[in-house]
Structure 1
Amino acid sequence: MARIAGVNIPTNKRVTIALRYIHGIGPAKAAEICEKAGITPERRVNELSDSEVLQIRETIDSDYMVEGDLRRDVAVNIKRLMDQGCYRGLRHRRGLPVRGQRTHTNARTRKGPAKPIAGKKK
């Protein structure tokens, strides 16, 4: 099992798919990493040599912000918005949708399970 950026990536999957298990790498970046490292995207992870895995690891470390650094950066950005007291920061603070979605109905992912209102009977 190859370990890249602190994540055990699955061995039986194609390289482009396996790289997506790393937080901060999606389809486009996975293809770009394979291209920079000179690895065909159709190859499986278990077919890669140690030097190729090392090359992928070095490419990711030098060119991309992934895993802990990315999570920390996002958390700092959210905290900055909350400290400023701007609209987006207030929405984060209250646990409501930030990007303009409706909250009259839906928004249960951000708001949590529905709370019953006392005395509301039909």
Structure 2
Amino acid sequence: MVYILETELLEDKSIYFSLTKVFGIGQFQSFLLCKKLGLSYNCKLSNLTPDQVIKLIKFIENSNLLINSHLKKSKIMVTKNLVQIKAYRGIRKIRGLPVRGQRTHTNAKTASKFR
């Protein structure tokens, strides 16, 4: 396992899929990162040289991507702001009800469990 960007990535998987394990990097961002760095997305993480790994880490850090703890903090701050300004979504979040317009008559059992 390789420890990159506060996440342990599997060496036997391709770069494309192993980068998606980082919180905040999805499949599209992973594809773009591979394309911009000139890496084949089929190439396994174990086949990368240490220079390529360092280049990958520096490129992700220099880009304006929110990843891992920074993304989690920003999501928490957004929800705190919604609660503070008493927005509809914030009130629904406090009460433990569905936030995005789902029906509550029959299907809100799982949303009300997550308090």
RMSD in angstroms over aligned alpha carbons? Answer: 1.2
- Please tell me whether the aligned partners of residues 36 and 59 of structure 1 are also in contact (alpha carbons under 8 angstroms): no
In structure 2, how many angstroms separate the alpha carbons of the residues matched to 1:58 and 1:108? 44
Which residue number corresponds to residue 103 of structure 1?
A: 104
Residue ranges of structure 1 left out of the alignment (5+ in a row): 114-122
Aligned-pair CA distance for 1:96 = 1.2
Runs of 4+ in 1 over 6 A off after TM superposition: none
Whose radius of gyration is greater, 1 or 2? 1
Please say if residues 96 and 113 of structure 2, whose CA atoms lie closer than 8 Å, have aligned partners that are also in contact: no
Q: Describe how 1:24-39 pairs up with structure 2 within 5 A.
A: 24-39=24-39
Q: What does residue range 1-122 of structure 1 map to in structure 2 within 5 Å?
A: 1-63=1-63, 64-112=65-113
CA contact (8 A) 2:15 2:45 kept: yes
Q: CA deviation at 1:108?
A: 2.5
Give the counterpart letter for 1:94 in structure 2.
R
Give me the identity figure in percent: 31
Q: Is the 8 A contact 2:10 2:45 kept in 1?
A: yes
Q: What is the count of residue pairs matched by the alignment?
A: 113
| Matched letter for residue 44 of structure 1 | K
- Amino acid corresponding to residue 108 of structure 2 in structure 1: A
Deviations 1:68-92 (A, max 9, x none): 0000001000100000001011011
Normalised by the length of structure 2, the TM-score is 0.93
Structure 2 segments unaligned to the other structure (5+ residues): none
- Paired with 1:20 and 1:96, the residues of 2 have a C-alpha distance of 30
